[in-house]
Amino acid sequence: MPGTSEDPPDNESGAVRRAVRTVAPAVVRSGREVVSAELALTVFRQMIRTRALEERSIKMSKSGEAYFWIGGPGEEAFNVCLGLQVHKGHGPAHDYLHLHYRNAGVMLAMGMPMIDHVRQLAMRATDPHSRGRNFVGHYAVKAWNVVPVTSVIEVQYAMAPGTALVQKRHGERHPDQAEGISVVVGGEAGTAEGDFETCLNWSTRPGQELPVLMAVTNNRWGISTDFQAVSAEQRIADRAAPYGIRAETVDGNDPVAVWNALDRAMRYCRRERKPFLLEAMVSRLHGHSSSSGAQREWGQADPLTAFEQRLVDGGAIDPAGVKGLWDEAKAEADAAVVAAMREPEPTREDVYRDSYAPSEVDAVYPNDYTGLPAAK
Ligand SMILES: Cc1ncc(C[n+]2csc(CCOP(=O)(O)OP(=O)(O)O)c2C)c(N)n1
For the segment 213-242, the average pLDDT, to the nearest whole number, is 96
The protein residue whose alpha carbon is closest to atom 26 in ligand 1 is: 152
Indicate if the pLDDT at residue 9 is higher than 80: no
Ligand 1 probe mutation, 106, 136, 149, 153, most atoms within 8 A of CB:
153
- Calculate the CA 306 to chain-centre distance: 20
Mean pLDDT of 325-354: 94
Q: pLDDT class for 369, splitting at 50, 70, 90?
A: low
Residue of 291, 204, 193, 224 whose CA lies nearest to 216: 193
**Distance (Å) from CA 155 to ligand 1 centroid:** 11
The domain 36-222+232-364 having CATH identifier 3.40.720.10: the answer here is no
The arithmetic mean of pLDDT across residues 181-198, rounded, is 98
pLDDT in tens, 47-81: 999 999 999 999 999 999 999 999 999 999 999 99
What's the one-letter identity of residue 132?
A: G
Gap from CA of 190 to ligand 1 centroid (Å): 6
The DSSP element (H or E) to which 98 belongs, if any, is: strand 96-98
What is the spatial distance between Cα 224 and Cα 208, in angstroms, rounded to a whole number?
38
Alpha-carbon distances of 44 from 93, 237, 265, 308, rounded to whole Å: 29, 27, 21, 8
What are residue 159's phi and psi, to 5 degrees?
Answer: -85, -30
| Residue 27 pLDDT greater than 90, yes or no | yes
317: which residues sit within 8 A by CB, 6+ positions away? 41, 44, 311
Provide the percentage of residues in the chain whose pLDDT is more than 70.
92
pLDDT, one tens digit per residue, over 101-128 is 999 999 999 999 999 999 999 999 999 9
Contact 132, 345 (CB under 8 A): yes
Q: Which of 87, 112, 12, 24 is nearest to 317 (CA)?
A: 24
Give the chain's mean pLDDT.
Answer: 92
Closest ligand 1 atom, residue 222 Cα: 13
Contact assessment for residue 156 and residue 217, using Cβ atoms and an 8 Å cutoff: no
Cα-based torsion angle of the residue sequence 309, 315, 317, 319 in order, rounded to the nearest 10 degrees:
60
**Euclidean distance between CA atoms 55 and 46, whole angstroms:** 14
Q: Residues with Cβ within 6 A of ligand 1?
A: 102, 151-153, 186-190, 219, 221-223, 288
pLDDT exceeds 60 at position 205: yes
Nearest CA to ligand 1 atom 18: 187
Helices (H), 65-203: 76-85, 104-110, 114-121, 155-173, 194-202
Given a cut of 70, whether residue 11 has pLDDT beyond it is no
